Structure 1
Amino acid sequence: MKNLKFKKVYLFIAAMCTFMLHLPFAFSTGKKVAYKPIVPAPLSTKNNAFAFADKMYDSLKLNLCGLSIQAFEYAYKGYDFLKLKGKIANDNILSIVDFSKPSNQKRLFVIDVKNYKVLFNTYVAHGQGSGEAMATNFSNRPESLQSSLGFYTTADTYMGRNGFSLHLQGIEYGINDKAYQRSIVMHGAPYVSENYIFSKGYLGRSWGCPAVPEKLNKPIIETIKNGSCLFIYSENNRYLQQSAIINS
């Protein structure tokens, strides 16, 4: 008798469990509800500085000016890095020299990053030791007469043998940190002109300085002086792998 009662209780409990298991399906709408686990957001393939740089590049139509997107992305990333580190006093201006282009093209870009304006787009020379029409060789060594790649901050102005000039501070160790010692400055030069290009096919060359047209020398220097960021770029794998700022 006891076994019979136990059997009935067992059957009742089993029936209730079966009913409870099927209850959600009885009241369901027939639609599948996807299970969404909580997972971390995927990391972007580009950091925030690159993403913002791409938007600015498109907004300013810098491709129509001839500035490569790679040069601008790296320039803006470094500018953003240096700004966060408190290394630049004038964060309104970002200047880029794009040595991936020959000297008969306008490869200096001075950009107002606060107001989204290209202030200057003109010619700029490279060093005698860096190449003829294209700058392909770069050095931090004194008396090499070569240009140095990387990030600089602009310093004070002075009157020198090339007229109104701008001191530059190279801030990448082993890459351009000897710029001040080498007297690498921005100045005007008569060989940076369309007339020179017409006669030779390319600009004249400096002793490593980013020389600019004489007519634009003073307004460019007055715009970028006293602590703005200057980036000199080339598709140079050694620099791109070595730069601590590029790889930050």
Structure 2
Amino acid sequence: METTSIIQRLRPLRRTTRPATRRVLPFLAALFLATPLAGSLPSSAAGTSRLEGNEVAALTPGHVAGFDARLRAQYAALGAEQQGLRYAVFEQALTGFLNLRQQGKVPAQQQRLAVIDFDLPSSEKRFWVLDLATNQVLYRSLVAHGNNSGQLDATQFSNTNGSNASSLGFYVTGSEYVGKHGRSLRLNGLDPGFNDQAAARAIVVHGAGYVSEDFIKQNGRLGRSQGCPALPLDLYAPIIDTLKGGAGLFMHKSGVGYSSPYLSEQQASAALPAFS
């Protein structure tokens, strides 16, 4: 970066003595949490990162360790663990979000990120909306999966039109519209082969009466959608207001072969000031 950051100006203090590091680290974490997540690197007209291969290779283990420390500081400040969001899922979601910001696929100042953890059954609140600027979990909610993804648990995923299954990966939100489910929020899938057919499939955020505690009491699980992340009727409208226009969304499931170029921690850490 051309502008020397406050963190970079603190580097001589870090070299002076190791005990000083312990005094400075809490300040660094607070600084990270009070400012935009990471200074976005310039992106090309095509929206791809300008990181060169030798720049990524030059990242030190200390730099990557510093990146992990800052993610953990953000996680703690959000109180995400107390809200049921596991760190391993948050780490993937935020890593991808930083990479999307670097590549210009979400707006540079965007600080809203939604996360769905399909490792949890539909009877549990597995949808979170995070405000990374104010360190708040704005919403934690029930969310439905597609009717061909499973019953209580989502185990099958598809990117195919007509599959009526959920699709994993990173999304960016678009505009809202009024459709058969009322107010709905368009989603643009960004992971080729996993969710890039979301727009063609009309995978959107909307409300549904089958997403409720009463439905769970009667059936042992939520109702299911045609692949959309359907939300409770009393929450979907404010959540749409919070996320519309370029927020990030990550749908997670472990052990099903999902992979993404946006999960590179080295590339994401390159947006952060170097750690000695």
Report how far residue 190 of structure 1 moved. Answer: 0.2
Larger Rg: 1
Tell me what 1:70 maps to: 88
Report the residue type matching 2:261 in the other structure.
A
Q: Is the 8 A contact 1:49 1:80 kept in 2?
A: no
Report how far residue 54 of structure 1 moved. Answer: 1.4
Tell me what 1:245 maps to: 262
Report the residue type matching 2:89 in the other structure.
A
1:214 aligns to what SS in structure 2? coil
Report the residue type matching 1:88 in the other structure.
V
Greater Cα shift, 83-92 or 116-125:
83-92
Tell me what 1:232 maps to: 251
Counterpart Cα distance in 1 of 2:79 and 2:134: 14
Aligned residue pairs: how many?
Answer: 207
1:209 and 2:228 correspond:
yes
1:222 and 2:238 correspond:
no
- Equivalences for residues 3-152 of structure 1 within 5 A: 43-44=61-62, 46=64, 48-89=66-107, 91-152=110-171
1:154 and 2:177 correspond:
no
TM-score (structure 2 length as normaliser): 0.71
Q: Which runs of 4+ in 1 moved over 6 A?
A: none
- Equivalences for residues 172-183 of structure 1 within 5 A: 172-183=191-202
Report the residue type matching 1:171 in the other structure.
L
Q: Is the 8 A contact 2:79 2:137 kept in 1?
A: no
Report how far residue 57 of structure 1 moved. Answer: 1.4
Tell me what 1:6 maps to: none
Counterpart Cα distance in 2 of 1:119 and 1:156: 20
2:194 aligns to what SS in structure 1? coil
1:58 aligns to what SS in structure 2? helix
Report the residue type matching 1:246 in the other structure.
L
Report the residue type matching 2:74 in the other structure.
M
Report the residue type matching 1:129 in the other structure.
N
Report how far residue 52 of structure 1 moved. Answer: 2.1
Provide, for residues 115-143 of structure 1, a one-character-per-residue CA deviation record: whole Å limited to 9, x for no partner: 10111001100001111111111110111
TM-score (structure 1 length as normaliser): 0.79
Structure 2 alignment gaps of length 5 or more: 1-57, 268-276
Q: 1:41 to 1:238 in 2, by over 3 A?
A: closer
Report the residue type matching 2:126 in the other structure.
R
1:204 aligns to what SS in structure 2? coil
Counterpart Cα distance in 2 of 1:48 and 1:161: 47
Report how far residue 50 of structure 1 moved. Answer: 3.5
Greater Cα shift, 178-187 or 82-91:
82-91
1:75 aligns to what SS in structure 2? helix
Q: How many percent identity over aligned positions? A: 41
Provide, for residues 161-212 of structure 1, a one-character-per-residue CA deviation record: whole Å limited to 9, x for no partner: 0000000000111110000000100000000000001111111110000000
Tell me what 2:40 maps to: none
Report the residue type matching 2:96 in the other structure.
G
Provide, for residues 204-248 of structure 1, a one-character-per-residue CA deviation record: whole Å limited to 9, x for no partner: 110000000011111000100001100011113410xx3111246
2:212 to 170, 193, 202: 193
Q: 1:189 to 1:86 in 2, by over 3 A?
A: same
Report the residue type matching 1:101 in the other structure.
L
Q: Is the 8 A contact 2:173 2:185 kept in 1?
A: yes
Between 1 and 2, higher relative CO (CA 8 Å, sep ≥ 6) is seen in 2
2:61 aligns to what SS in structure 1? coil
RMSD of equivalent CA atoms: 1.8
1:59 aligns to what SS in structure 2? helix
Report how far residue 44 of structure 1 moved. Answer: 4.2
